């Protein structure tokens, strides 16, 4: 309890969240401490954990980067960024102000080491620094290493940590490593990276980060399905017509042209973010909330995705690239005009895919996935369309067609769950209209600011790997998309660019569903 009292800021959120214990004492080392990810998401999430009283008195944050900074300069740079996020709003960090006491609590525990990650000397210095913090700050000898660096460093940094003895667990002192995406660029590289890091770490020490899984609505999918007798009996091919998963962005590639040119929308979003939403939606009930029990079921779903042939790829997978247009009222340039992008680039900024899951629950139910940049709205949702009711009863009435029933799981920006169904319009004749029941998290719960990383960082410190991908899950995801990547690599995309920025994507994506007599939900 002493650790809780030492934290200066009151807890927010509902009462159950406030009762969550503080994490155990530990030192968190961020490789890439001066980078954008640390500034935009990791440190804001740690600040929010301070406000929620989830960090212990024995917490220390060590930044490691090539940038020549002092600890004071690092703290100031981060503080200025946090103030800017709070003033501008609209980003992942959505606090309206910075609490001075909570920020001082965190910065008083921040130190910085400058060094080259390819030089063994920096790891020796890290080891000495951590040993000093264990004695002076009471970190308990527990270490969490966060790799907020380019993916080419993942394997070498883990190997260097192993060579320096920094990830060897002794005397109940834990050592864990968080690895950001991209975890590989294709199936072969993902397998190679898994093999490389597993030479140094046990699987239980590896936390492969996907911040989508930190969203409350994503976590609530299992509660919605498995804690409510109303929904789970309907969650199968007998009742569900199809499922749409959308992750639409209103940003372009910004200053990541060099990265995006070798990545594209499929690699950037589908094997990780989109497939995690798919797995949570389609998985079988686990026997418990034990991490491996949940991850077993998620892996089974991805492994059950029907393999695609080159011929089916050209029919069932659509790629697009944005042209110049207007997004949220502002003119924007075409992808090929972005910095560090080739003038004739064939990299996709949009994908749509019709896939099938070959198991007993989902046989014959199509899943439609789409994600893209510079679209009409920033919108991430899982939309479940139920089979329509028979029309016979309504013959001879004013009802021209049966309205579809939908369950909408909104991930961002307005987290919540909605049900759409038919109701009789008031009047002397039978006329149906669509109505909507809507649950919004913000209107029902007192929600603390959240970037999506808070839960995940806290789980890392607590040793709960439920929301993190295992090696087999990663490889199953890449195995599912690899035939599409191969087919696209061997065939030009046709006319690029093929959708205007600010639209809902290319016409071919609409045709993908139209062939099945269906249509995408509107992005509005």
User: pLDDT for 41-95, tens place per residue?
Assistant: 999 999 999 998 999 999 999 999 999 999 999 999 999 988 888 777 655 666 7
Q: Convert the pLDDT of each residue in 414-444 to its tens digit.
A: 888 999 887 777 777 676 777 788 988 778 8
List, in order, residues 6 or more apart from 132 with CB less than 8 Å away: none
CA angle 166, 172, 176 (to 5 degrees): 45
Q: Convert the pLDDT of each residue in 284-305 to its tens digit.
A: 999 988 889 999 999 999 999 9
- Cis previous bond, 45, omega within 30: no
Kindly indicate the confidence band of residue 3, based on its pLDDT and cuts at 50, 70 and 90. very low
- Please name the fold of domain 213-382+464-514: Dihydrodipicolinate Reductase; domain 2 (3.30.360)
- Cis previous bond, 497, omega within 30: yes
Q: Indicate the helix (H) or strand (E) that contains 113.
A: strand 110-114
Kindly indicate the confidence band of residue 197, based on its pLDDT and cuts at 50, 70 and 90. very high
Mean pLDDT of 190-204: 96
Beta bridge partners of 369: 245, 353
Percentage of the chain beyond pLDDT 70 is: 90
Query: Does residue 12 surpass a pLDDT of 60?
Result: no
Q: What is the C-alpha to C-alpha distance for residues 28 and 158, in angstroms, rounded to an integer?
A: 15
Kindly indicate the confidence band of residue 1, based on its pLDDT and cuts at 50, 70 and 90. very low
**Residues 211, 247 contacting (CB under 8 angstroms):** no
Query: Does residue 109 surpass a pLDDT of 90?
Result: yes
pLDDT at 221: 86
pLDDT at 89: 62
Residues of the chain with CATH 3.40.50.720: 2-11+18-149
pLDDT at 420: 84
Between 486 and 421, the higher pLDDT residue: 486
pLDDT at 91: 57
Choose the catalytic residue: 143, 211, 242, 273.
273
Mean pLDDT of 447-470: 86
Q: Which two tokens stand for residue 67?
A: 């940038």
Identify which of 14-23, 216-225, 249-258, 344-353 has the greatest average pLDDT: 344-353
Q: What is the C-alpha to C-alpha distance for residues 482 and 499, in angstroms, rounded to an integer?
A: 25
CA angle 166, 167, 172 (to 5 degrees): 110
Question: What's the chain's average pLDDT?
Answer: 89
Provide the 8-state DSSP code for 305.
B
165: left (phi over 0), alpha (psi -120 to 50) or beta: left
Query: Does residue 5 surpass a pLDDT of 80?
Result: no
Query: Does residue 170 surpass a pLDDT of 60?
Result: yes
- Please name the fold of domain 2-11+18-149: Rossmann fold (3.40.50)
Kindly indicate the confidence band of residue 199, based on its pLDDT and cuts at 50, 70 and 90. very high
Residues of the chain with CATH 3.30.360.10: 213-382+464-514
pLDDT at 470: 92
CA neighbours closer than 13 Å in the CB half-sphere of residue 473: 30
State the CB neighbour count (10 A cutoff) for residue 395: 7
Give the residue carrying structure tokens 């409350």. Answer: 216
Query: Does residue 171 surpass a pLDDT of 80?
Result: yes
Is 242 noted as a catalytic residue in this protein? no
pLDDT at 201: 97
Beta-sheet pairing, 350-356 with 366-372: antiparallel
Provide the 8-state DSSP code for 374.
S
Kindly indicate the confidence band of residue 449, based on its pLDDT and cuts at 50, 70 and 90. low
Give the residue carrying structure tokens 């509107």. Answer: 522
pLDDT at 6: 52
User: DSSP E strands: which ranges in 330-376?
Assistant: 330-332, 350-356, 366-372
171: left (phi over 0), alpha (psi -120 to 50) or beta: left
Between 186 and 452, the higher pLDDT residue: 186
């Amino acid at each position: 309890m002493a650790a809780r009292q030492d934290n200066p800021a009151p807890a927010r959120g509902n009462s159950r969240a406030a009762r969550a214990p503080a994490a155990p004492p530990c030192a968190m080392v961020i490789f890439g401490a001066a980078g954008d990810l640390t500034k935009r998401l990791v440190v804001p999430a740690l600040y929010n954990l301070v406000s929620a009283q989830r960090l212990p008195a024995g917490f220390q944050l060590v930044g490691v980067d090539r940038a020549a900074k002092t600890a004071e300069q690092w703290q100031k740079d981060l503080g200025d960024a946090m103030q800017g996020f709070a003033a501008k709003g609209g980003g992942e960090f959505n606090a309206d102000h910075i609490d001075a006491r909570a920020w001082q609590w965190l910065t008083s525990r921040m130190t910085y080491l400058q060094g080259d990650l390819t030089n063994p000397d920096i790891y020796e210095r890290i080891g000495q620094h951590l040993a000093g913090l264990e004695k002076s700050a009471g970190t308990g000898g527990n270490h969490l290493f966060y790799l907020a660096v380019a993916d080419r460093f993942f394997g070498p940094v883990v190997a260097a940590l192993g060579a320096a003895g920094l990830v060897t667990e002794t005397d109940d002192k834990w050592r864990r490593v968080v690895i950001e995406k991209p975890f590989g660029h294709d199936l072969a590289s993902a397998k190679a990276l898994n093999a490389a890091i597993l030479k140094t770490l046990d699987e239980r020490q590896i936390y492969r980060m996907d911040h989508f899984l930190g969203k409350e609505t994503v976590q609530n999918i299992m509660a919605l399905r498995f804690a409510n007798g109303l929904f789970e009996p309907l969650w199968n091919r007998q009742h569900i017509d199809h499922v749409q998963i959308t992750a639409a962005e209103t940003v372009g590639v910004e200053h990541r042209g060099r990265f995006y040119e070798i990545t594209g929308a499929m690699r950037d979003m589908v094997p990780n973010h989109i497939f995690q939403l798919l797995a949570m939606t389609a998985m079988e009930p686990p026997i418990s909330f034990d991490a491996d029990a949940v991850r077993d079921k998620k892996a089974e779903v991805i492994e059950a995705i029907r393999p695609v042939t080159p011929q089916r790829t050209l029919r069932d997978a659509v790629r697009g690239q944005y042209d110049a247009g207007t997004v949220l009222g502002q003119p924007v340039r075409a992808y090929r005009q972005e910095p560090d992008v080739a003038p004739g680039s064939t990299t996709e900024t949009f994908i749509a895919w019709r896939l099938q899951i070959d198991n007993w629950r989902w046989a014959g139910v199509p899943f439609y996935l789409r994600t893209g940049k510079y679209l009409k709205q920033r919108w991430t949702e899982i939309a479940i369309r139920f089979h329509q009711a028979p029309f016979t009863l309504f013959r001879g009435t004013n009802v021209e067609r049966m309205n579809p029933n939908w369950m909408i799981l909104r991930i961002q920006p307005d987290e919540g769950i909605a049900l759409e169904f038919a109701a009789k319009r008031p009047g002397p004749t039978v006329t149906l209209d669509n109505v909507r029941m809507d649950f919004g998290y913000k209107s029902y719960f007192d929600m603390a600011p959240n970037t999506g990383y808070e839960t995940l960082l806290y789980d890392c410190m607590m040793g709960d790997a439920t929301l993190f991908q295992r090696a087999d899950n990663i490889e199953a995801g890449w195995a599912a998309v690899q035939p599409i990547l191969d087919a696209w690599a061997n065939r030009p995309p046709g006319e690029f660019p093929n959708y205007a920025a600010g639209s809902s994507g290319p016409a071919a994506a609409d045709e993908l569903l139209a062939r099945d007599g269906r249509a995408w939900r509107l992005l509005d």
